[in-house]
């Protein structure tokens, strides 16, 4: 018996060691990637993949940890993007720190929107929940289209300034690559800490059985709204980074289709798994670029592949059966 226990502990140690070695290898590859490719286009694709990783991991808090499917994530991204841009360009003084204050404010306002939507939405579930979240996303897009004095309507906001730290300005694509990468790593560390804390265990308990979780003393509405607000906060941060990277924002960037694509990324890799959302984001970003010559049939192809995936791997490519 002692021998079996010792072997089990040894196997667990080896598994952890392999995991950390893999993480270290991936970080090393990510750190040198811009210097290993000569194509600015590939760095741009990597930047998009990192951005989608940020918003996909943020959605996984609700869709994976909590088990609620949201179709309005683009709305929270839009709140963060427009808040960051408007504050930075029109409200805050012209200083390098203005962008970072505006970025934090954008994330906080998106989190507040998450609370406002989450309190009534979290009292329902299933198809009613994702109808409410989709409605929120469309309301935000409608506001962006019609509040022209602030958002410039369908024409969008152009010439968005690049962020800076002191005298260093993020002007090149590989500058943004490292900015996205650092934000993503900080976000993964934070969410991983939450995942294995009491809060994360409460989320998992609610996902598995709400009645049993409530009987154990877990306050359902509180933890659901908390998950929704944290998810929205990180989505808003992602939106603020996107606006500065593209130097342009318009309501067309935040269609309902964008929310669906982000959800597909989460489901593709495996919901409830941080690395699953990362894998799905990178895979779908690359797949979108490969299918760009077939723009008219791209969503049809993606839809067919998702149907096949749901039959063959209902828990995602990296999910456990």
Clarify whether residues 270 and 172 are in a common domain: no
The predicted structure's pLDDT at residue 46: 94
The predicted structure's pLDDT at residue 292: 82
Strand ranges (E), 226-270? 248-249
Nearest alpha carbon to residue 45 among 207, 145, 146, 174: 174
Three-state DSSP class for residue 251 = helix
Clarify whether residues 225 and 107 are in a common domain: yes
Domain membership flag for residue 71: yes
User: Which of 254, 285, 312 is where one domain is finished?
Assistant: 254
Residues 6+ away with beta carbon under 8 Å from 132: 72, 117, 120, 121, 124
Residue 128: C-alpha distances to residues 132, 258, 266 (Å): 6, 20, 20
Mean per-residue pLDDT, 138-150: 92
Beta bridge partners of 149: none
User: Which of 202, 227, 254 is where one domain is finished?
Assistant: 254
Domain, as residue range, for 181: 58-254
Clarify whether residues 185 and 234 are in a common domain: yes
User: Which of 202, 230, 254 is where one domain is finished?
Assistant: 254
The predicted structure's pLDDT at residue 39: 84
The predicted structure's pLDDT at residue 320: 60
Q: If you average pLDDT over every residue of the chain, what do you get?
A: 86
Clarify whether residues 179 and 85 are in a common domain: yes
Three-state DSSP class for residue 165 = strand
Clarify whether residues 264 and 250 are in a common domain: no
Clarify whether residues 70 and 204 are in a common domain: yes
Provide the 10 A C-beta neighbour count for residue 119. 14
* Number of independent structural domains in the chain: 2
What is the C-alpha to C-alpha distance for residues 41 and 284, in angstroms, rounded to an integer? Answer: 17
């Amino acid at each position: 018996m002692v021998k079996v226990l010792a072997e089990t502990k040894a196997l667990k140690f080896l598994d952890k060691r392999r995991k950390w070695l893999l993480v270290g290898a991936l970080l090393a590859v990510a750190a040198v990637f811009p210097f290993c490719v000569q194509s600015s286009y590939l760095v741009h694709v990597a930047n998009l993949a990192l951005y989608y990783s940020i918003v996909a991991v943020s959605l996984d808090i609700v869709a994976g940890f909590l088990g609620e499917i949201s179709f309005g994530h683009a709305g929270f991204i839009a709140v963060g993007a427009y808040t960051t841009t408007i504050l930075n360009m029109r409200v805050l003084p012209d200083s390098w720190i203005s962008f970072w204050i505006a970025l934090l404010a954008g994330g906080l306002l998106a989190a507040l929107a998450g609370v406002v939507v989450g309190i009534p939405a979290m009292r329902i579930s299933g198809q009613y929940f994702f109808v409410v979240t989709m409605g929120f996303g469309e309301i935000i897009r409608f506001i962006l289209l019609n509040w022209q004095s602030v958002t410039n309507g369908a024409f969008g906001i152009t010439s968005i300034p690049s962020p800076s730290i002191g005298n260093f300005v993020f002007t090149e694509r590989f500058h943004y690559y490292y900015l996205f990468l650092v934000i993503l790593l900080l976000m993964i560390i934070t969410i991983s800490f939450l995942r294995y804390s009491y809060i994360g265990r409460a989320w998992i308990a609610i996902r598995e059985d709400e009645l049993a979780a409530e009987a154990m003393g877990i306050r359902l509405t509180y933890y659901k709204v908390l998950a929704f607000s944290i998810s929205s906060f990180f989505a808003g941060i992602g939106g603020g980074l996107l606006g500065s990277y593209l130097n342009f924002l318009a309501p067309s960037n935040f269609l309902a289709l964008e929310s669906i694509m982000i959800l597909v990324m989460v489901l593709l890799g495996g919901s409830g798994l941080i690395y699953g959302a990362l894998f799905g984001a990178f895979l779908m970003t690359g797949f979108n670029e490969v299918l760009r010559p077939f723009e008219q049939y791209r969503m049809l192809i993606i839809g067919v592949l998702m149907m096949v995936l749901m039959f063959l791997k209902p828990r995602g490519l990296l999910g456990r059966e």
